[in-house]
Amino acid sequence: MVNEKKVREEYEFLTKSLISKKLTITTMESCTAGQIASLITDTEGSSEILKGAFVTYSNEVKVMMGVPKEIIDRYTVYSEETALEMAKACKKKLGADIGVGVTGTMGNVDPENREASEPGKVYFAIVFKNDCYTYSLTLPCQETRLMYKLLVADKIYEKLSLLIWKKYVQPSDWTHIS
């Protein structure tokens, strides 16, 4: 079971770190429906670093926002390739330092994408400056949709923190989050 308080504390620390390093971020979210952006904006001062965010639940909106239809057709909407194109598209559209794209199926089959939909399988990507990273997760069953979203947010935080802090934060800047 994911610890909501811990996830919120992690995102507060992330947001403050981005502010201190003057790094901007944007997201294009599908299955998390804006949860990542919401967690970032829970911290005062987040308007300095969050350029904006997109919730692109349908394939059509992903394409409208810059995800190539060919990528969705070739790899499906639920793939690392689609997540990467989502991250690239939002980063480019808003001129941010970091783009995060996340797509997948939480606890049920998507009726619009039955063949590609695998409950509990989530894909996300991070584009940091010019470097691209893709990931996939298989989630255990959660009690609520919010818990699924927070679990994905926690995993994205882990990867973002490694990428950002390895490059920009000195060991003396680290604080422990319980």
- Among the residue ranges 2-11, 100-109, 113-122, the one predicted with the least confidence is 113-122
Structural domains for the chain: 4-168 (3.90.950.20)
Cβ 130 vs Cβ 13: under 8 Å: no
- State which amino acid sits at residue 64: M
At residue 42, the pLDDT reads 98
- Average pLDDT of 103-132? 87
Question: Which pTM does this prediction carry?
Answer: 0.91
